Amino acid sequence: GTIYGYRLYRSRQWYNEMHDSDVTIGQKPRVVVLGTGWGAVPLLRHIDTSKYEVVVVSPRNYFLMTPLLPSVSVGTVEPRTVIEPIRSLLGPRIKFVESECINVDPQQKIITCSNDGSKENQETKPIATTSIFGREKLPSSPSIESEYEGGSSSRKIRDGARIRPKFDMKYDYLIVAVGSENNTFGIPGVEKHAHFLKEILDARRIRSAISDAFESAMIPSQTDEDKRRLLHFVIVGGGPTGVEFAAELADYIREDLKYYFPGLIKNYVKITIIEALDHVLSMMDKKISDYTEKHFHRENIEVMINTFVKGIKQKEVIVQVKDSKELQSIPCSIVVWATGIKARPLTNKLREIIGTDKQSNRMGLLTDKYLRVKGVNDGSIYAIGDCATIEQPKVLDRIQLLFEEIDTHKRGSLNLDEFKLFIENKVNEYPQLEIFQKDIEKAFYEADQTKSGSLTLQALRSIMEKADKKLRSLPATAQVATQEGRYVSDLLNYMARSTTSASFKPFSYTHFGSLAYVGGDAAVIDFSGSKPLLDIFSLKPISGRGSYYLWKSFYFTEQFTTRTKFLLAFDWVRARLFGRDISR
Ligand code: FAD
Ligand code: MG
Ligand code: MG
Ligand code: MG
Ligand code: MG
């Protein structure tokens, strides 16, 4: 891609591009992309704009580097470092419209956009009250809310002066990359009293709330009990986001706050992670969760496993430990909710428009192996990233047909050669058959429990059940979204040149490992499942925050622009030399 870093170069390049693109409008098929996140941006950077007119619609005019949000929430990294203006990222060859898609008509190929809901979209939760910090009686100081929302008065000016009407737009291809929402699982009080960590404003709010909690604890009349509650930080969810936030918070306390609030740190501060399963980072290798739990123990981060949150109130979290009937109250001030995601309203609406018989997955839009949305017959809608799931065909669904296809002699059973043929022929269509491929004979004799030398339909069915159980949909990660976005741009570019997509390879995902920062300058990486890297590095923790950032940038080379790398390096040096900014 082109780096729009150098200003002179940029303006010249852009000038030429502006003139090139404007004359051809209406002559090229129009690709409309919904979203400016991890799925959309790689697509937009690689799509051939000489072949397509490309329009992006998103309520967010910047790309957000989500993996660095936990660092932003404690001030290790500044907010502006992790966002990249979409216009400077893409240049003028692509049109950007700041708006939110609210409806799609797949028959007419028209989307409807509006700005009414976009405020909610940029902030994943309503404004937090300061009252949970026990400062109800104090006059509230200027907070980030007024700074960022413009307060109520300037908000009025903005709404009144700049009207954004609702509009319709035609598309030839629609790419849905709208991401996901936080899942509260309907647990009472989460929306109102917990912080999410998904958007930049969430991180700003948490940073402000931490400062607020410490300053509140310093108010002379606070009792010991108040101080203990105010400085108890609870994180719900032991996935990568929860773990990384806990780690960053522990670093922040040890490296900076300790000097300013020595008395408080020693006696009152506590960090707790609440996890419903029996260990944290359960999606990674067991060794990594063990390492993380031990490491957290040394860092004084308490991990409560097998514990379910039943509700969140202003000053407490109500939990229930597995197999116990009693509810327990945990007094605290700040709760960070990082338990999982769900589909956005637009995603669900589109599923309903297409028909929930074809779109039966409540997690998101089902697509085929080419990432085309199922149930849209002309193949004009694609879905990528968190809002999409690739349908994986089960062998069991068509076992009868598959069996008859191979059993050409109509004997009602398969011998070893036929079984081999079956695996070899079908492994492309059903990747789950890979588990038998290593040792086909062993699989055959294990399935042949009657030692008859052949497999009946029933015997085949029982081993295929095992294979189907191995099917896992791809995780909702930036790694997946990026590769899917890149794939769709390649596919569209290919289709512009040749008239058919018939010989284009289906999407396949390459896993580069998972990684999480666990604090105290240590990060853990899980390379299992990552063919290219497992051999070189195997499982081991790496150390140093620098190496951690390096790894992250290695992962996401393309999205880490030169600008981001510069800013990140500055932030890092600043935090090392002067400490983090502890003010609100
Ligand atoms: P997003 O990146 O969320 O983009 C969605 C876009 O759609 C946004 O621009 C949004 O404004 C826009 N949009 C929303 N609604 C509409 C609408 N109605 N119309 C038009 N546009 C709309 N993944 C990793 O692989 N590694 C990590 O280390 C990692 N760390 C993470 C840390 C945190 C704190 C979080 C929250 C996530 C992390 N992830 C990580 C996950 C990763 O961020 C997501 O999987 C990724 O963002 C998914 O990309 P996406 O394009 O589907 O959605
Ligand atoms: Mg996106
Ligand atoms: Mg994003
Ligand atoms: Mg999202
Ligand atoms: Mg997905």
Fold (topology level) of 190-339+511-578: FAD/NAD(P)-binding domain (3.50.50)
What pLDDT is stored for residue 122 in this prediction?
45
Please give the number of the atom of ligand 1 that sits closest to the Cα of 198.
36
Q: Whose CA is nearest to atom 28 of ligand 1?
A: 67
Q: Kindly indicate the confidence band of residue 406, based on its pLDDT and cuts at 50, 70 and 90.
A: confident
Q: Kindly indicate the confidence band of residue 410, based on its pLDDT and cuts at 50, 70 and 90.
A: confident
Residue (of 56, 81, 8, 166) closest to 568 by Cα position:
81
Residue 462 scores a pLDDT above 80: yes
Torsions phi, psi for 362 (to 5 deg): -75, -15
Instruction: Name the average pLDDT for the chain.
Output: 84
Residue (of 15, 70, 362) closest to 241 by Cα position:
70
- Among 33, 36, 38, name the best residue to mutate to test ligand 1's pocket (greatest count of ligand atoms within 8 A of Cβ): 38
- The more confidently predicted of residues 124 and 88 is 88
What is the Å distance from ligand 5's center to 377 Cα?
21
Which CATH number applies to 396-469: 1.10.238.10, 1.20.58.220, 1.10.1740.10, 3.40.50.300?
1.10.238.10
Residues 7-59+99-120+165-182+342-391+476-497, CATH architecture? 3-Layer(bba) Sandwich (3.50)
Residue 203 scores a pLDDT above 70: yes
Q: Is the CB of 36 under 6 A from ligand 1?
A: yes
Residue 116 scores a pLDDT above 90: no
The arithmetic mean of pLDDT across residues 197-211, rounded, is: 97
What pLDDT is stored for residue 540 in this prediction?
55
What pLDDT is stored for residue 5 in this prediction?
47
What is the Å distance from ligand 4's center to 525 Cα?
24
Q: Is the CB of 514 under 6 A from ligand 1?
A: no
Please give the number of the atom of ligand 1 that sits closest to the Cα of 68.
32
Residue 230 scores a pLDDT above 50: yes
Among the listed ranges 161-165, 190-194, 213-217, 377-381, which one has the minimum average pLDDT value? 161-165
C-alpha angle 126-128-132 in degrees, rounded to nearest 5: 150
What pLDDT is stored for residue 530 in this prediction?
57
- The more confidently predicted of residues 204 and 401 is 204
Neighbouring CB atoms inside 10 A of 66's CB total 20
What pLDDT is stored for residue 576 in this prediction?
84
What pLDDT is stored for residue 117 in this prediction?
57
Residue (of 525, 134, 183) closest to 343 by Cα position:
183
ipTM above 0.95, yes or no: yes
Residue 351 scores a pLDDT above 60: yes
Give residue 507's Cα distance to chain centre.
19
What pLDDT is stored for residue 17 in this prediction?
59
Please give the number of the atom of ligand 1 that sits closest to the Cα of 60.
11
The arithmetic mean of pLDDT across residues 130-142, rounded, is: 39
Q: Is the CB of 34 under 6 A from ligand 1?
A: yes
Please give the number of the atom of ligand 1 that sits closest to the Cα of 475.
45
The tens digit of pLDDT for each residue in 270-313 reads: 999 999 999 999 887 787 788 889 889 988 899 999 999 999 99
What pLDDT is stored for residue 136 in this prediction?
34
What pLDDT is stored for residue 545 in this prediction?
61
Measured from the alpha carbon of residue 474, the closest ligand is 5
Q: What percent of the chain has a predicted confidence (pLDDT) above 70?
A: 81
Residue (of 247, 264, 223, 125) closest to 516 by Cα position:
247
Residue (of 201, 1, 200) closest to 84 by Cα position:
200
Domains 190-339+511-578 and 396-469 share a fold: no
| 163: its two tokens | 């009207």
The domain spans of the chain are 7-59+99-120+165-182+342-391+476-497, 190-339+511-578, 396-469
What is the Å distance from ligand 3's center to 304 Cα?
30
What is the Å distance from ligand 4's center to 528 Cα?
26
Residue (of 353, 183, 198) closest to 276 by Cα position:
183
Q: Is the CB of 478 under 6 A from ligand 1?
A: yes
The arithmetic mean of pLDDT across residues 550-558, rounded, is: 64
- The more confidently predicted of residues 137 and 387 is 387
| pTM beyond 0.80, yes or no | yes
Q: Is the CB of 60 under 6 A from ligand 1?
A: yes
**Beta strands, E only, 39-166:** 53-58, 62-64, 83-85, 95-98, 100-105, 110-114
Give residue 92's Cα distance to chain centre.
28
The tens digit of pLDDT for each residue in 189-200 reads: 999 999 999 999
Q: Whose CA is nearest to atom 3 of ligand 1?
A: 179
3-state secondary structure 274-305: ECCCCCCCCCCCHHHHHHHHHHHHHCCEEEEC
Measured from the alpha carbon of residue 178, the closest ligand is 1
Q: What does the alpha-carbon distance between residue 529 and residue 121 come to, in Å, rounded to a whole number? A: 34
| 381: its two tokens | 């809608």
Measured from the alpha carbon of residue 68, the closest ligand is 1
Please give the number of the atom of ligand 1 that sits closest to the Cα of 477.
45
What pLDDT is stored for residue 373 in this prediction?
98
The arithmetic mean of pLDDT across residues 357-374, rounded, is: 95
